[in-house]
């Protein structure tokens, strides 16, 4: 009898263990891990309970957000971009196709309980800047009461945030159930209704789709946007040509004093490039049409790059982090490269062509 009972208990324990292992582990945003005064949270929810959602404000007809300079005609990046206007509590989605931007959707949204740009862990503020969606959680991975049925993480703190020693993490775009108000204020995340998170999922490609969060979104005419695009494309092409020509003085002028990459500062980067220039008889650098997104004086530029010299040949995705200096000129503060799949159409076109797409 004892042996039978022990067998039953072991079987039950095994079944429970198997059940527990089959259940998804719930994921918690780091913003919710930080202690928050329960009374403040309850006061916020009580004060907004039953209030109607804010109304998403549609962009002005015939104008385009200043921030979306170019999303790039390549499969390497997403044709969609998200923009959050904190002043109007509005999330807009834009599509880039054949050189034109088109508004796709407008939704009301919630954000951090405290106004201003996020700077430190637990300040209850939503960060402002250029971010990219990183991962997706849904269903049993989430506490529905806190995050709805789906959530997308962002890469806060980004390159610029880290330069400014901003702290905190766990900034998401997530949903909330109908029982909660979109006016209550989050701990820093961008929040939408659960039905909205379902609709916008098709517009998100992880690691590729940008979300730009600004205090107030500004808009410009198509001609002004075209002018900004041409100006930045010329800047990028000037950088590319100076590298290709092995003109070290012209090339290094594109880099700012705070530049860091591969463990090197600006001076070390110059020495590194001078050494390579002395070894190679020729250098070829071709790039795809770039993704260009700006926020205030900062810009993120991403493109597919095909590099070839006497001894080396590779194709990868290059990211440049730019910031305007005191003279108003963009300078490179950071540079990253990663390999891409050989099936990437932009990479195939670059390796088969002798020209840059700029």
Q: What is the pLDDT along the chain (358 residues), one digit of tens a residue?
A: 544 444 444 344 443 334 334 456 788 888 877 666 554 655 566 566 767 788 999 999 999 999 999 997 777 899 999 999 999 999 999 999 887 899 999 999 999 999 999 999 999 999 999 999 999 999 999 999 999 999 999 999 999 999 999 999 999 999 999 989 999 999 999 999 999 999 999 999 999 999 999 999 999 999 999 999 999 999 999 999 999 999 999 999 999 999 999 999 999 999 999 999 999 999 999 999 999 999 999 999 999 999 999 888 999 999 999 999 999 999 999 999 998 876 776 667 766 666 665 6
CA 111 to chain centre: 17
Place of tokens 């463990």: 263
Closest to 132 measured CA to CA, from 163, 155, 151: 155
Measure Cα distances from 329 to 39, 120, 255, 266 in Å: 48, 29, 10, 17
Read off the tokens for 191. Answer: 């929040």
Closest to 36 measured CA to CA, from 96, 118, 101, 123: 123
Handedness of CA 199, 202, 206, 209 (dihedral sign): negative
DSSP β-ladder status, 313-324 and 90-97? unpaired
User: What's the pTM?
Assistant: 0.88
Question: Cis (ω within 30 of 0) for the bond into 164?
Answer: no
| pLDDT at res. 9 | 44
| pLDDT at res. 100 | 86
3-state SS, residue 84: strand
Read off the tokens for 188. Answer: 């820093």
Read off the tokens for 78. Answer: 């997403």
């Amino acid at each position: 009898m004892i042996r039978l009972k022990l067998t039953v208990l072991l079987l039950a324990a095994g079944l429970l263990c198997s059940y527990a292992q089959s259940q998804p582990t719930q994921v918690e945003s780091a913003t919710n891990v930080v202690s928050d005064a329960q009374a403040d949270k309850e006061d916020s929810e009580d004060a907004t309970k039953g209030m109607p959602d804010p109304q998403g404000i549609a962009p002005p007809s015939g104008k385009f957000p200043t921030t979306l300079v170019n999303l790039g005609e390549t499969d390497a990046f997403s044709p969609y971009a998200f923009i959050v206007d904190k002043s109007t509590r509005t999330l807009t989605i834009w599509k880039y196709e054949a050189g034109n931007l088109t508004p796709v959707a407008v939704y009301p949204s919630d954000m951090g309980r405290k106004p201003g740009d996020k700077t430190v862990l637990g300040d209850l503020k939503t960060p402002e800047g250029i971010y990219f969606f990183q991962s997706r959680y849904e269903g049993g991975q989430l506490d529905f009461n806190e995050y709805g049925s789906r959530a997308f993480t962002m890469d806060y703190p980004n390159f610029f945030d880290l330069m400014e020693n901003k702290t905190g993490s766990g900034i998401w775009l997530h949903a909330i159930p109908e029982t909660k108000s979109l006016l209550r204020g989050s701990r820093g995340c961008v929040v939408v209704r659960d039905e909205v998170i379902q609709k916008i999922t098709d517009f998100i490609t992880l690691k590729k789709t940008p979300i730009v969060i600004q205090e107030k979104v500004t808009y410009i005419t198509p001609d002004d946007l075209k002018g900004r695009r041409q100006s930045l494309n010329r800047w990028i092409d000037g950088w590319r040509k100076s590298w290709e020509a092995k003109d070290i003085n012209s090339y290094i002028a594109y880099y700012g004093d705070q530049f860091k990459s591969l463990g090197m500062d600006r001076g070390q980067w110059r020495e590194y490039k001078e050494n390579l220039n002395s070894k190679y008889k020729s250098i070829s650098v071709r790039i795809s049409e770039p993704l260009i997104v700006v926020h205030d004086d900062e810009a993120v530029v991403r493109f597919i790059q095909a590099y070839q010299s006497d001894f080396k040949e590779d194709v990868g995705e290059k990211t440049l982090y730019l910031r305007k200096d005191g003279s108003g000129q963009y300078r490179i503060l950071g540079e990253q490269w990663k390999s891409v799949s050989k099936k990437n159409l932009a990479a195939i076109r670059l390796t088969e062509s002798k020209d840059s797409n700029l």
